[in-house]
Amino acid sequence: MTATFEWNNIDTVLLDMDGTLLDLYFDNYFWQVLLPKHWGELQGITATQALQQLMDWYEKEKGKLPWYCLDYWTDRLGFDVFALNSHAEHLIKMRPYAESFLQHLAAKDLNVVLVTNAYQKLVGLKMEITGIDSYFDHIISSHDIGYAKEEQEFWHKLNDRISFCKERALLIDDNLTVLRSAKQYGIEHCLAIAKPDSQIDAQDTMEFYAIHSFADLFT
C-alpha cells in the first residue's frame, strides 16, 4: 500500500505490540488452546468445555482492563496464569520487517512509544525475548494508565503522561476498536495491521488503511 501520510508530518509514533510488532499467533494459542487445556485438566473437563466457558468470560471482559490482566485471571482460574507462558514462549516472534521498521524509525528524530494492553510482566517477558525495548522512548502498558486502549480515558491520560501532538501522531495497531478510540480522541494518522496472526487469514480492516508488512512503510 501507499502510506497515507508524509513522515515530515509525524513527530510521535505509537506502536502496539501483540498483533502489530509481534505475531498474534502466540496470544491466540495461549488464550484459546493452552490455557483452556490446562484449566480444563484442573477442573476435570475437556479442553473444548473449558474453552466454551472461558470464551463466555472473555466476551464479558472484552475491551476492558481485566481482560488483559493476568492477575485477574489468576484469581479467577486459581493458578498462576503468567507462569503458563513458559510453555509457549518459543512462539513469541516478530512480525515481518518489524525490527527493520524500528531501525528505520531510530534513524529519524521521532518520539517512538510502545502502547500496549498487555500486562506489565508479559511486556517484560516479550521485551526480554525479542530485545526490542531499546528502540522505544517510552514503553506504556494500559495497566500503568488504569484504562484499556479501547477507552477514551486511556488516550487522555497517555497524553498527560508523555505529551504529544495528536495531529502529528501516527498509531499502528491491529485492534480496530482501539483504532476507532484513538481516532475519536483525535489522533490524526491511524494504520491497521492486515494479518496480525500469521496462522489466520487477513482481517477486514474496514475503515482503516492496513499494512501487510512494515516494509510497506519504508521501501
Mean pLDDT of 91-95: 97
Please give the CATH architecture assigned to the domain spanning 7-23+94-217: 3-Layer(aba) Sandwich (3.40)
**What percentage of the chain reaches a pLDDT higher than 90?**
93
Map out the domains of the chain as residue ranges: 7-23+94-217, 26-90
**DSSP letter string over the chain?**
---SS-GGG-SEEEE-SBTTTB-THHHHHIIIIIHHHHHHHHHTS-HHHHHHHHHHHHHHHTTSHHHH-HHHHHHHHTS-HHHHGGGTGGG--BPTTHHHHHHHHHTSS-EEEEEE-S-HHHHHHHHHHH--GGG-SEEEEHHHHTS-TTSHHHHHHHHHHH---GGGEEEEES-HHHHHHHHHHT-SEEEEES-SSTTSPPP--TTS-EESSGGGGT-
Residue 218, exposed/middle/buried by CB under 10 A (0-12, 13-18, 19+)?
middle
Q: Would you say residue 1 has pLDDT above 50?
A: no
Question: Model confidence over 142-154: pLDDT tens digits?
Answer: 999 999 999 999 9
**What percentage of the chain reaches a pLDDT higher than 70?**
98
Residue with cell 477486514: 204
Residues 203/196, Cβ–Cβ less than 8 Å: yes
pLDDT given at position 4: 66
What is the pTM assigned to this prediction? 0.95
| Number of Cα atoms under 13 Å in the Cβ half of residue 211 | 24
Question: Model confidence over 154-194: pLDDT tens digits?
Answer: 999 999 999 999 999 999 999 999 999 999 999 999 999 99
Question: Model confidence over 108-120: pLDDT tens digits?
Answer: 989 999 999 999 9
Closest alpha carbon to 12 in 154, 171, 160, 133: 171
Q: Would you say residue 88 has pLDDT above 90?
A: yes
pLDDT given at position 109: 87
Question: Model confidence over 187-218: pLDDT tens digits?
Answer: 999 999 999 999 999 999 888 999 999 998 88
Alpha-carbon distance of 194 to 174, in angstroms, equals: 7
pLDDT given at position 219: 63
